[in-house]
Structure 1
Amino acid sequence: MILKTENLTLRPWQEDDAECLYHFAKNPHIGPIAGWPPHESVEDSLNIIKTVFSKKETYAIVKDDVPIGCVALLFHPDTNHWWGEDSAELGYWVAEEHWGNNYATEASQALIKRAFDDLEVGEIYASYRIDNAKSKRVLEKLNFKYLDELNNINYLGEEIIEIAVKLEREEFDG
């Protein structure tokens, strides 16, 4: 499946994207705020492509033929939390060099539309670290509503606070 937006192409990750993924995902400003450690090598990135990014409804966000981020719908049991039977969890990140261009919102909107129109998803959930103002803003633009505050443990074993939000089909403006 390939999805097109005004500025982006969403397509499955390919193994030859590993070097590009590593270039962006080694940045310590990207992974930790999203809940994963910075990539340590091209091999590390290739492993992520073969495992995590090979799941259904996981897409490279491509701008000018370069993968600059990732957007995904996660379904149980691959979600961070159990949300319900007809639900999915939205996750995304965009390379720091491309922040401020609305790409996370644009890519997420395309995938949310697919979820509601084609995949029979009833509700989409997301969560962000309480200190991640950029992610909060993306979800606000997409019309997600506050659901709950969650205490969680990050990949370093540290306690963090996340905000859970929810979008129902009727509230989606896409």
Structure 2
Amino acid sequence: MVLQTDRLLLRKWESSDAADLYKYASDERVGPPAGWPPHKDEAYSRAIIRTVFAREEVYAICIKERGREVIGSIGLTLDGSPERPIGTNEAELGYWIGYPFWDKGIATEASMELLRHGFEDLNLSRVFCAYFEGNERSKKVQDKCGFKLHHINHMTRVVLLDEMRVEYVNVLTSEEWSRKFGSNL
């Protein structure tokens, strides 16, 4: 499946995207604020594409005018875990954008399209989205998308970085989405 906005193309990840993924995910400004280590080489990036990004509803973010170059990732996690339970017809939104593309509205635009897809095409009832304390860019994206605070985890284990952080978990319901954005997109 391919999703589109005026500027963006959201498409499935391909093995050939490993160089682009490594280019942006190796930057220390990108992964650690989101809870994952910078990529060390293209082989690692290729493995992430084969495993983490191979899930349903995970998309490579491309700017149409730049062709198929991948500049970030966005996805809806439809299956929860004991640490992050997700109910029936619920999902968790996750995203990241390469540093050169920060502060251009890309994460918000991609998130709005994936939320539209989630609520209108997948019939989700609620979508959760979280950010770690200090990640103000992610907080701003979630605010612009209409998310509201659900709860705070004061001692969240960040497994990939082997540390503890404060995490703000936000939620957006289908009803809130429809009221605020349904007729505007």
Return the TM-score normalized by structure 1: 0.96
Distance 1:119 1:28 in 2: 34
CA RMSD, Structure 1 to Structure 2 (Å)? 1.3
Q: CA deviation at 1:97?
A: 0.3
Distance 2:144 2:81 in 1: 25
Contact 1:93 1:104 in 2 (8 A): yes
Distance 2:98 2:151 in 1: 28
From the superposition, tell whether residues 97 and 141 of structure 1 become closer, same or farther in structure 2 (CA, over 3 Å). Answer: same
Distance 1:152 1:104 in 2: 24
Distance 1:35 1:17 in 2: 22
3-state SS of paired residue (2:115):
helix
CA deviation digits over 1:62-103, x for unaligned, max 9? 011211000100011369611312100000000000001100
| Residue aligning to 1:118 | 121
Distance 2:150 2:108 in 1: 20
Aligned length: 174
| Residue aligning to 1:93 | 96
Distance 2:5 2:82 in 1: 25
Identity of aligned residues (%): 37
| Residue aligning to 2:156 | 152
| Residue aligning to 1:109 | 112
| Residue aligning to 2:145 | 142
From the superposition, tell whether residues 74 and 153 of structure 1 become closer, same or farther in structure 2 (CA, over 3 Å). Answer: same
| Residue aligning to 2:170 | 165
Unmatched runs of 5 consecutive residues or more in structure 2: none
Q: Describe how 1:11-26 pairs up with structure 2 within 5 A.
A: 11-26=11-26
Unmatched runs of 5 consecutive residues or more in structure 1: none
- Runs of 4+ in structure 1 displaced over 4 angstroms? none
Aligned partner letter, 1:3: L
Aligned partner letter, 1:147: H
